[in-house]
């Protein structure tokens, strides 16, 4: 299979490139290769690459920044995705769109199944929801894969932030009233490649197994890093207001991956351990956040 990967220089894109090295003929593109919000650039990229499938991982990912740069976020996450969907449909090319838990309201403490209604509470979530709508409406083969709380090799993620703050401060406060599913970029890359190879259309939820609060995640980072977890204190979202409202519950429940035969996913604790070993071995690498 010839696979065109957008956002190839980002955190997830680099993980997909690494995982797909021996599994497919992969063509990676990023910002220098073309503006996906321009129809002519999208057409030119697909004409040049002639892929069997497109894995669309490029995104505007600054959640708080999307509140003040709404047009840019909507153009990148909504318009560009719609153009890719139209072009893929016209060419008979499959499309996988990487989306987010933020398309949901976060008010259901049980979490969200794949067919739960979209109800974003911030502009980043709205822009990704617009992208989902465009993909869902396209004729041909499409997949929408939602994930959450991504971490992995790259210069910026929650794990690196907590480790840095533990080195700088005697105590930290981390929010306890937001719950979700931490996801390791290399594990997500394996799921995405499995889905592309399967070609089965529809919605999928792809995270590591298990859920926790940001507070519990931070304490586990401290514990596995050899720091005292008691140095991390719980606090509420109200104590740390941000420009963008966050969903209280971002748990993505999964059943469609399992129905396709995908085996048990590693727990987020196991994924964290593997990432920390990679950091200690100097395998951090670079890349952007997704």
Active site residues: 124
For β-strands 150-151 and 94-100, DSSP reports them as unpaired
Question: What DSSP string runs through 161-227?
Answer: HHHHHHHH-S-EEEESS-EE--EEHHHHHHHHHHHHHH---EEEE---B--EEHHHHHHHHHHHTTS
For β-strands 212-213 and 179-180, DSSP reports them as antiparallel
Q: What is the dihedral of CA 170, 158, 240, 216, to 10 degrees?
A: -70
User: Please, which residues bridge with residue 55 across strands?
Assistant: 5, 96
Q: 3-class DSSP state for residue 112?
A: strand
Q: What gap in Å lies between CA 252 and CA 125, rounded to an integer?
A: 15
- How many Cα atoms within 13 Å fall on the side-chain side of residue 247? 30
Q: What gap in Å lies between CA 179 and CA 175, rounded to an integer?
A: 9
Q: What are phi and psi of 227, to 5 degrees?
A: -100, 160
Exposure string of 220-241, with b = 16+ CB inside 10 Å and e = fewer, is bbbebbebeeeebebbeeeeee
Cβ neighbours around 153 below 10 Å, total: 20
């Amino acid at each position: 299979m010839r696979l065109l990967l957008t956002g190839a220089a980002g955190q997830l894109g680099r993980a997909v490139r690494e995982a797909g090295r021996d599994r497919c003929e992969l063509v990676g593109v990023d910002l220098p290769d073309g503006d996906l919000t321009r129809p002519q650039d999208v057409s030119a990229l697909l004409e040049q690459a002639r892929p069997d499938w497109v894995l669309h991982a490029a995104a505007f990912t600054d959640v708080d920044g999307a509140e003040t740069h709404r047009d840019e976020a909507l153009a990148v996450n909504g318009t560009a995705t719609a153009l890719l969907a139209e072009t893929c449909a016209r060419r008979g090319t499959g499309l996988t769109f990487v989306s987010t838990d933020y398309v949901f309201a976060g008010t259901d403490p049980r979490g969200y199944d794949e067919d739960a209604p979209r109800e974003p509470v911030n502009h980043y979530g709205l822009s990704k929801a617009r992208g989902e709508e465009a993909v869902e409406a396209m004729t041909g083969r499409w997949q929408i894969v939602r994930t959450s709380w991504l971490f992995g090799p790259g210069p910026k993620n929650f794990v690196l932030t907590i480790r840095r703050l533990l080195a700088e401060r005697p105590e930290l406060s981390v929010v306890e009233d937001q719950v979700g599913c931490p996801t390791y970029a290399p594990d997500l890359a394996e799921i995405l490649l499995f889905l592309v190879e399967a070609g089965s259309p529809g919605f999928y939820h792809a995270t590591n197994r298990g859920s926790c609060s940001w507070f519990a995640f931070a304490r586990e980072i401290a514990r596995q890093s050899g720091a005292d977890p008691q140095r991390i204190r719980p606090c509420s979202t109200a104590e740390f207001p941000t420009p963008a409202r966050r969903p209280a519950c971002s748990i993505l429940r999964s059943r469609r991956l399992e129905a396709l035969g995908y085996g048990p996913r590693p727990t987020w604790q196991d994924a964290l351990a593997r990432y920390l070993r990679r950091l200690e071995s100097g395998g951090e690498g670079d890349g952007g956040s997704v």
